[in-house]
Structure 1
Amino acid sequence: MQQQQQFGKYQLAILIIVFLIGSTPLFELGITAKQDAWIAMLVAAAAGLLLTVIYLTIHKRAPNAGLGDLYKYHFGRYIGGFAAMVHALWLSYESMRNVRDVGELTTMALLNFTPKWVVMLLILAVAAYTASKGVEVLARIIQLLFPVVLFSYFLVILLVFFSGLVKVNQLLPMMENGPMPILKAAFPNLLAFPFGQMVVFLVLFGHVSEKKSISKVTYWSQIGVSLFLVFMNALILCVLGPELADLTTLPLLHVVQLVRLANFLERLDVVVTLLLFIGLFVKIATLYIASILMVSEVTGWSYRTLVFPIGALIYAASFLEPNYTYHNWIGLDITLKIVPIFQIGLPLLMLAVGIRKKYRAAALGGAQST
């Protein structure tokens, strides 16, 4: 039943845009490159587009297959099945990290006296309900949320510019210390998050009804959202400068707190909070559903029967890290060293195996014809 659920090319475009945006603009990623953080983001975006070329090449070999089936197609039933299960667990782990982010950031910036476990349970319950309805409903929900995200960011950008907070000279001098700080900021951190997370769409491409449009829609959507993320990165730098942006937990929240117009328009924290919840919810739900789909493909178990067990696993795992400092350390120092296995290593291996199979089939065909 779940395999029959499909969504259109425009919903795919919106899903890519909202998923990649997520909570990314709220933070100043690549800040180790200081005022060149936006250049690091641009470099990582270009590399991420190359990764997407690899993902789409793999997808075209079996257009109706999910990532679990693609692993089995390339590596065989047992090795491929094992790799798919490990990847599914990793997707659950990524979803868990976003659940914990919701709990920590909400109690830190908004609801100081609300227990984290309550906040995390609520956001995961909504994601679990969405997951139970399947990928088609996920696409429709994100389609409904898209205008809210679009308008909110447009409002924030407009008000920041009208408030006279933007100082372009904060981006100078460019490449003061050469290209190395930019490259170190871009790889692997910025490539892994957010651009390498496009690998999750190998799970979802098989559910797109208009298969011929997938590549075109994916490329244009990713290019557009990448330019937006680079712009937002530069905007935060122009307002706060590299030093303050580095010290602030939620730089975009700090930016909107500086907005003052006509002595009455201020306190736009609610807009950033809304964007935070939408972005993290989309990440949680998409990764959650992708994990369920992969386990279902490998084991043959019903999709619906896996919703609660995987959701319970995500919720339980969100308590393993004792505090937010440890959570960030795991995410920045450990996770980003492991994730290239799933985003780069295994896809490249699948690409190589597929090329080898193609040439072997061509060689056998030529031998038989002679």
Structure 2
Amino acid sequence: MQQIGKSQLALLIILFLVGSTPLFELGIKAKQDAWLAMSVAAVAGMLLLAVYVKLQKRAPHVGIADLYKFHFGRYIGGAFTVLTSIWLAYESMRNVRDFGELTTMALLGFTPKWIIMLLILLVSAYTASKGIEVFVRVVQLLFPIVVISYAALIMLVFFSGLVKASRLLPVMENGPMPIVRAVFPDLISFPFGQTIVLLVFLSLVKEKDAVGRVSYKSLAIVSLFLVAMNALVMCVLGPELSELTSLPLLQVVQLVRLANFLERLDIIVTLLLYIGLFVKITTLYIASLFTASAVTGISHRNLVFPIGVLIYAMSFLEPNNTYHIWIGLDITLKVVPLFIVVLPLAMLAVGIRKKYRAEAAGGNGRQQAEN
């Protein structure tokens, strides 16, 4: 059985949730209060994570598929497992499409999107075929690059004199409702609610007692970073320009000029874009493989090709980027709460008086946990 360490779990959580998120100005519906919306969403995300950790503690040695079966029964739980696997593949597809669209928009304007998307998916498929242990080692190698790159960008933006804190004012000019509308369901669904993916991987952590502590600390670090980056972009561009720009962070970096010498730092943003989307695509891909494997009994390695084909085929369902964004914001974000909020809370309620046994969920081994 594949296993990962607690430090590897921490890095996986951080890089997965960061992904390409800082490149965008999330919560822009709240205008200059976008950073406040991110803060509220982070608190809500921490509450959701508490639910996921509680569910995992009931059965530390099994994943989300067996949790579904235990709480909802063999057939209903199996149906939810199939739906979750398809949803995870769909989320991976959205990131594949984002990779193609953003690369075409910002870098390779004359390269066909199908080639770009095929290449990133092939890299992810190869990584997924090697298993979670190999993938988290790749994450460990990428983590220092991401940290150094973001640290360099932040310092350069500050030294260039572009930051104007006055652009965050007035605070809550139109009251709390714009913040609430930005948080629910948008920011809950992305990025903080995506911690639901951890229910696929937490059972693989060697140090079971450290799972909760590591998860909370990692989410806290990510939350602080994302709120800070959100506020930084707003301090540079202001609410109007942030709302109109497809890649606000890229726009910020393009404004950096130091000593008439240091400029055109797009390569750093490009590097972060590629790393973030690769980690996001592969994590969701592997999660879909493991979930499908649990419900079908087929090895996850044997599912790499069919699910990869499914992801690639789905990436062509949306005819253009405008339609892709509309589907993501107006439809997908309305469905995602079923997986990240409704089903976990239903499991939490159903399992209050239930005693977990591995055989009850279709797993193996002795009784794992009891409320």
Name the TM-score class by shorter chain. Answer: over 0.9
User: Match of 1:11, SS?
Assistant: helix
Which residue in 2 is equivalent to 1:217? 214
Give the Å deviation of 1:224: 0.9
* TM superposition shift of 1:346: 0.3
Task: Report Cα offsets for 1:258-294 as digits up to 9, x if no partner.
Answer: 0001111000000001101111111100000000000
Counterpart amino acid of residue 301 in structure 2: R
The structural deviation recorded for 1:78 is: 1.1
Match of 1:67 in 2: 64
C-alpha displacement at 1:358, in angstroms? 5.0
User: How much has 1:356 moved relative to structure 2?
Assistant: 3.4
The 2-side partners of 1:133 and 1:75 are apart by 32
1:101-116 alignment runs, 5 A limit: 101-116=98-113
RMSD of aligned residue pairs (Cα, Å): 0.9
SS at 1:218 equivalent: helix
1:74 shift after superposition:
1.1
* Range moving further from structure 2, 233-242 or 350-359: 350-359
AA matched with 2:106: A
Cα offset, 1:245, TM superposition: 0.3
Structure 1 residue aligned with 2:238: 241
Q: Does 1:170 align with 2:167?
A: yes
The runs of at least 4 consecutive aligned structure 1 residues that moved more than 3 Å come to none
**C-alpha distance in 1, partners of 2:320/2:307?**
23
Q: 2:158 aligned with 1:161, yes or no?
A: yes
Deviation at 1:297, TM superposition (A): 0.6
- Could you say which residue in structure 1 is the equivalent of 2:279? 282
Q: Does residue 340 of structure 1 match 2:337?
A: yes
- Aligned residue for 1:339, secondary structure, equals helix
Rounded to whole Å, the distance in 1 between the matches of 2:110 and 2:206 is 46
Where does residue 20 of structure 2 map in the other structure?
23
3-state secondary structure, aligned to 1:262: coil
Counterpart residue number, 1:297? 294
1:49 matched to 2:76? The reply is no
SS of match in other structure, 2:144: helix
Secondary structure, in 3 states, of the residue corresponding to 1:153? helix
Partner of 1:40: 37
> C-alpha offsets along residues 316-348 of structure 1, whole Å, 9 cap, x if unaligned?
000000000000000000000000000000000
Give 1:208 shift: 0.7
Which runs of structure 2 are paired with 1:241-280 in the superposition (5 Å)? 241-280=238-277
Percentage identity across aligned positions? 70
Q: Aligned partners of 1:206, 1:127: CA distance in 2, in Å?
A: 22
What is the DSSP-based 3-state SS (H/G/I as helix, E as strand, rest coil) of the residue aligned with 1:264? Answer: coil
2:308 matches 1:315 = no
SS for the counterpart of 1:230 is helix
Query: What CA distance in whole angstroms lies between the structure 2 residues aligned with 1:148 and 1:304?
Result: 29
SS at match of 2:354: helix
In 2, Cα distance between equivalents of 1:17 and 1:224: 8
For residues 282 and 299 of structure 2, what CA distance do their matches in structure 1 show?
18
Aligned length: 356
Report the alpha carbon displacement of residue 303 of structure 1 after superposing the two structures with TM: 1.4
1:302, distance to aligned residue in structure 2 (A) = 1.4
Quote the Cα distance in structure 1 between the aligned partners of 2:189 and 2:299. Answer: 31
The 2-side partners of 1:48 and 1:87 are apart by 19
Under a length normalisation based on structure 1, what TM-score does the superposition of the two structures give?
Answer: 0.95
1:14 maps to 2:11: yes
The CA distance in 2 between the partners of 1:322 and 1:27, in whole Å, is 22
- C-alpha separation between the residues in 1 aligned to 2:230 and 2:246? 14
Q: 1:273 and 1:69 mapped to 2: Cα distance?
A: 39
Aligned to 1:189: 186
Quote the Cα distance in structure 2 between the aligned partners of 1:18 and 1:358.
35
| TM-score with structure 2 setting the length | 0.95
The one-letter code matched in structure 1 to 2:42 is A
**What residue is the counterpart of 2:122 in the other structure?**
125
Of 88, 91, 107 in structure 1, the residue corresponding to residue 88 of structure 2 is: 91
SS at match of 2:263: coil
User: Gaps spanning 5+ residues in structure 1: where?
Assistant: 360-370
Aligned to 2:366: none
